[in-house]
Amino acid sequence: MRKGRMLDHKGFTLVELMVVIIIVGILAAIAVPLYTGYVERARVTEATSIMGAIITSQKVEKQRTTNFYDAAVMATFKNKGIDISDTQFFTYVTAANVAGDGFTVTATTTARFGDDAGTVTYTKNPDVPGTWTSTGSILPDMLPTEPSS
């Protein structure tokens, strides 16, 4: 039998705590940029899906009335069957072109989107299939490869 006092060590040493803090810091440094990119992609996906609904309603309107329509406020979109009241990160505008045979749909970032302002635009031109463009931080690789039908 030992005659000394057995010390009962509870807790962590300073070195162990420092190692854990360093590991958490490295994981955070990797995760935060990935999460930020994921959030921005989700916001752009929301915009392009709403724009797809606007594109579809424009095509329906053209078949019903032989004209495309202009809209820049929620009430006009709601009258066309599109509810955009929940959107927080973009404002939407659609306009028929001067000749009346095409239209554009533009989503512009709001202040809630963040510092990286920009626009997403879909243009329907009768001579060329619909095309997507963007400005600002909204990279072209975030836009649909095929226009919505």
Q: What is the pLDDT of residue 140?
A: 65
Q: What is the pLDDT of residue 86?
A: 87
Locate the domains of the chain by residue range. 14-138
Under CATH, which number does the domain 14-138 receive?
Answer: 3.30.700
Does pLDDT of 139 surpass 90? Answer: no
pTM: predicted TM-score of the whole model, two decimal places? 0.73
Q: Please tell me which residue, 59 or 142, carries the higher pLDDT value.
A: 59
Averaged confidence pLDDT in the chain: 83
- Residue 141 — pLDDT band, cuts 50, 70, 90? low
Does pLDDT of 124 surpass 60? Answer: yes
- 60-111 residue pLDDT tens: 999 999 899 999 999 999 998 898 888 888 999 999 988 878 899 999 888 8
Quick one: average pLDDT of 53-61?
91
Quick one: average pLDDT of 19-40?
90
Q: What is the pLDDT of residue 121?
A: 87
Does pLDDT of 9 surpass 90? Answer: no
- CA pair distance 95, 30, nearest whole angstrom: 42
